[in-house]
Amino acid sequence: MEQNDAKCNLFINLGSETVSDSSASEILNDAVKNIDDCRTPLAELPIKKDFSSPEVTSKAERRDLGNSAANIAAMQKLDETPAVPPRHKKRRVTELRCPEVRWFYRKKGETKWNSFRGVDSLKLEIRWRQRNNIEIDKATQANMAFMQVANSLVVHDGLYCVSDDITYIYSFYWKDDEMEIRRGTWFLAESMQPIDQDMAEPIEKHHLSIFRSQTIPETAVFSDKESSKKPILTELKLKDQYEVRWNSVIDITLYNNSKTSRFLRYITWGKGTSLKRGYEEADWEDGTRVISHLILVVHGIGQKGYENLIAKNTDLVREAAYSIMEKNYAEEKSRPMILPVEWRASLVLDEGLTDFVTLPKMSSMRHALNSTVMDILYYQSPLYRNEIMGGLTNSLNTVYTKFKQNHPNFDGPISLFAHSLGSVMCYDLMTNWSPLVIYDKYVATIIENYISGDNRENVDTFHAFQNARQK
């Protein structure tokens, strides 16, 4: 074999050189002879005895392995051709299913729309279709059998209720907090922000009328070089000088046909906005949380005139707690429910009498003191303390009752998270402590001492007073 290898190497070296016509025939004959010498009969090849070994490197070895299980496995490993992946069913243009529609909400003063979690979006879409008598796809109907349906739909972990016309959500546990919601079917491709429903509905209707049952490509239809030569398959004019053009099933562009926009488009400065149909499919597991702990946040002084401040602060506490849990306990599916308890707004107290007697000089500072320090004085007063404690008790019970409406199976622990005067009030409530009880004991002791003493003046009056107290 060493001689054969040398001849083979010599042939390879000669094959890279330039030779004359006279010697070409001789070199070719030598090359053919060398090739024949390099061929070794299959019978002379060394055959591996351990066929289960994966070190099978030649087709000759594979040919002689036999049909045992180990040998077949070795043969399969030798064949490096990957298995053909299962063929996915091609998607076609039909009505959007419930998971393909995504609902969004927008806070007051903001322009960005935020997507609901999967389970909330599905609930909203189901309610919207039921209200408008639109068919629900079979897969969603199967999941609806496991969904608890209530008259009032709540989202965001039960913190917000959905309006009857499904146009906004409002806070369930506190006041004056609403957010606009929008059904998203067509989106701006770059930002995935939903376009207005008044535009999305005619676009969807036109899209289905032209492309129904057509195959949806998985990749781009046109290359970058072909972008300027896209054919216009169909177009739709909308209100406010907007126009939509279809270059393919997935190449849809929104244009503004105002004079300025047309001029910019003509000089290639202005371009249309690409649109995308449908959203990433919503999952029932996305946003489904098990409430394992109820935490009630009680505010302190300074809430007069700022009734929703405790709700905003509780949002910060909730977001911080959820962020830490998701970072350190990502596998934990249960979460605490953190709710605000606002007790100051329902109190009457002196009916604003202090505002009338406040001096006009330095009014801002005096009003600030009235809304903060006065709460402490009220709580220390025997006249107003009972009203304050009653307001706290009623607020706690109201929040808990609402919570049980949305989570009837909850049986976890309940904690109070209080601040400032609120912590003192919660402690007194939990321990049933009251200065009035101490004062009452003091008065009873004074009466008993007076009756049992040597001074018998007005004894009958004190006896009558004592009997009245005992009743």
Strands in 290-298's sheet, in edge-to-edge order, are: 334-341, 290-298, 414-418
Range 441-444 contact pairs with CB under 8 angstroms and sequence separation of 24 or more: 443/469, 444/469
Number of domains in the chain: 4
pLDDT of amino acid 280: 93
Containing 340, the helix (H) or strand (E) segment is strand 334-341
233 with 265, same domain: the answer is yes
Q: Based on the number of CB atoms within 10 Å of its own CB, is 337 exposed (0-12), middle (13-18) or buried (19 or more)?
A: buried
Q: How many CA atoms lie within 13 A of 141 on its CB side?
A: 7
In 3-state terms, what secondary structure has residue 383? coil
Residue 166 contacts residue 396 (beta carbons within 8 Å): no
Q: Determine the Cα–Cα distance for residues 296 and 209; give it in Å rounded to an integer.
A: 53
Residue 343 has phi, psi (to 5 degrees) of -105, -15
* Chosen domain end from 277, 301, 321: 277
Strands 414-418 and 290-298: parallel
Specify if 86 maps to a domain. no
**DSSP code of 91?**
P
pLDDT of amino acid 207: 96
230 with 167, same domain: the answer is yes
Rg (the chain; Cα; Å): 41
Tokens of 377: 């004085």
414 with 373, same domain: the answer is yes
273 with 130, same domain: the answer is yes
Residue 136 contacts residue 98 (beta carbons within 8 Å): yes
Q: Determine the Cα–Cα distance for residues 56 and 65; give it in Å rounded to an integer.
A: 9
13 with 65, same domain: the answer is yes
E strand intervals along 114-258: 114-115, 154-155, 160-162, 168-171, 178-184, 186-188, 234-237, 242-246, 252-256
Q: Determine the Cα–Cα distance for residues 61 and 39; give it in Å rounded to an integer.
A: 16
Specify if 92 maps to a domain. no
Query: What tens-digit pLDDT sequence spans the chain (471 residues)?
Result: 444 443 333 333 333 344 444 444 454 355 434 434 444 443 443 434 443 344 444 444 444 444 444 554 544 544 444 444 444 568 899 999 999 999 999 999 899 999 999 999 999 999 999 999 999 999 999 888 777 666 789 999 889 999 999 999 999 999 889 999 999 999 999 999 999 999 999 999 999 999 999 998 888 787 766 766 788 899 999 988 899 999 999 999 999 877 555 544 444 445 789 999 999 999 998 888 889 999 999 999 877 767 788 999 999 999 999 999 989 988 888 899 999 999 988 887 776 666 666 666 766 777 777 677 788 888 888 788 888 999 999 999 999 999 998 888 899 999 999 999 999 999 999 998 887 777 777 777 777 776 676 666 666 676 676 676 665
267 with 303, same domain: the answer is no
User: What b/e sequence results for 309-322 when a residue is b if at least 16 CB atoms lie within 10 Å of its CB, and e otherwise?
Assistant: ebbeebeeebeeee
Specify if 284 maps to a domain. no
**How many CB atoms are located within 10 Å of the residue 207 CB?**
21
Strands 242-246 and 234-237: antiparallel
Q: Which residue range forms the structural domain that includes residue 408?
A: 290-433
Q: Determine the Cα–Cα distance for residues 281 and 213; give it in Å rounded to an integer.
A: 20
Tokens of 123: 């609930």
Tokens of 95: 């009505």
Q: Determine the Cα–Cα distance for residues 157 and 339; give it in Å rounded to an integer.
A: 11
Specify if 298 maps to a domain. yes
265 with 414, same domain: the answer is no
257 with 175, same domain: the answer is yes
pLDDT of amino acid 40: 42
Strands 186-188 and 273-277: antiparallel
Specify if 91 maps to a domain. no
Specify if 450 maps to a domain. yes
Specify if 285 maps to a domain. no
Q: Determine the Cα–Cα distance for residues 291 and 217; give it in Å rounded to an integer.
A: 42
398 with 442, same domain: the answer is no
242 with 146, same domain: the answer is yes
* Chosen domain end from 78, 107, 140: 78
Q: Based on the number of CB atoms within 10 Å of its own CB, is 277 exposed (0-12), middle (13-18) or buried (19 or more)?
A: buried
108 with 231, same domain: the answer is yes
Specify if 88 maps to a domain. no
Q: How far is CA 338 from CA 101, 121, 171, 342, in A?
A: 30, 22, 14, 13
Task: Quote the Cα angle for 130-169-142, to 5°.
Answer: 35
Q: Determine the Cα–Cα distance for residues 279 and 319; give it in Å rounded to an integer.
A: 26
* Chosen domain end from 18, 49, 78: 78
List of residues 6+ apart from 37 with CB closer than 8 A: 3, 4, 7, 8
Q: How far is CA 20 from CA 31, 226, 255, in A?
A: 16, 52, 71
191 with 307, same domain: the answer is no
Residue 208 contacts residue 95 (beta carbons within 8 Å): yes
Q: Determine the Cα–Cα distance for residues 362 and 359; give it in Å rounded to an integer.
A: 8
pLDDT of amino acid 307: 74
